Amino acid sequence: LHGNGASAHTLEEAGVHKADLLIAVSNSDGANVLACYTGKELGAKTTIARIEDPEIREGADRLGVDVVIDPSATAAEELVGIVGLGGASELIHFADGKLVMVGGLVAPNAPITRATLKRLRLRQAEWGWVVAALVRDGRTIVAHGDTLVRPGDHALLMTTDDHVNDALRLLGLKRRNIDRAIIVGGTRLAELTADVMADAGLSVVVVDGSEDRCSLLASRHPQALIVCADPTDPQVMSDLELGPSDVVMGLTGWDEVNLLSCLVAKATGAGMAISRFYRIDYVSLLTGLGIDAAVSSRLMAASAILRFVRQGQIEQVATFSDTDAEAIEIEVASGAEACDKSLLDLKLPVGVVIGGISRDGTTFVPDGSTVIRPGDHIIFFALPRDIEESAALFTA
């Protein structure tokens, strides 16, 4: 439909009176709240709104908003995790941070490329890990024992939080020590990221081409150095004397500016570059051009919405930039079909991998003999076609 999504006429035309869920994720907080309020008045059962302004967020529940999401805040937290690790392209925490999915491009001659995954797990038996999936030439490969990983594959690997460095070594990635964050852009995501990077102890530089915006940034972020200049100008990046301990993050509202500023930064010595993207079709270009990681507030919004849509025992849903597969954390219900069965006996769809289990305060990567118990938190990786069938095994 073409129309104002906050107007009663448009919502009625869309059939909001029959809707189980109304999702308002425009760039306007006010429009999102108004859409939810109007939708609730017209009969929508549940509403989700993207709200960035803290003052509006406080009273949103009185205005018909049931669930509030803030993708930019979530993206900023993910960025500080990736920078802190300094080698991975993804770092996603499950089970209260005790299980971690590490993503990255497999390096040439990485240990993980030297044998099938089954043989490698026997050789690396002193710590728990499992490759959930590979993205190769734009195609998702759900990993199994006979899978052979190739250099250049985008690998998604699950391990416990105390073995993240081992996971990086297995993928052939080196952990970088990052001391300074150069943030390109004056967007809300850029501002939030500047704050979390400063809180993490990094020196922060913000580069933006607008004088008015730079004046505002300087007043809001006194802990940061504000540079008013064109971030795509090689001389600007050269003047910053970039080195291996610097990360440059392109966080403007334009994909092209983000990408170009990151490329210029890498060419002038930056150790790490992260680009924000809006267009999904750009993702395949980023890694091939030397961009170390990518972030999308749209994907963050999708993950938050999917978590709500797939509610029940589901605790968390993670989505990825270059595959439509999802990683899902779910609590096993008493009486579920999976209870008291080993993974070997569990009739999981072929394209599903159990990546980790949290049980009674302990976390581990399971093997075929692991028996599922009520109350376990299971993290599984699946393609969309297999999610509903897989989740049903763990619910009563």
Nearest to 85 by CA among 169, 10, 210: 169
As beta bridge partners, residue 357 has: 364, 378
Task: Indicate the pTM of the whole model.
Answer: 0.82
Q: What is the pLDDT along the chain (396 residues), one digit of tens a residue?
A: 899 999 999 999 999 999 999 999 998 999 999 999 999 999 999 999 999 998 999 889 999 999 999 989 989 988 998 898 877 888 889 998 899 999 998 999 899 999 999 999 888 878 889 999 999 988 899 888 899 999 999 999 999 999 999 999 999 988 888 999 999 999 999 999 999 999 999 999 999 999 999 999 999 999 999 999 999 999 999 999 999 999 999 999 999 999 999 999 999 999 999 999 887 766 666 666 778 888 887 878 887 788 777 666 688 888 887 888 899 999 999 999 999 999 999 989 888 999 999 999 899 999 889 999 999 999 999 998 999 999 999 998
> Which domains can be identified in the chain, with CATH numbers?
8-69 (3.40.50.720), 73-79+176-299 (3.40.50.720), 300-394 (3.30.70.1450)
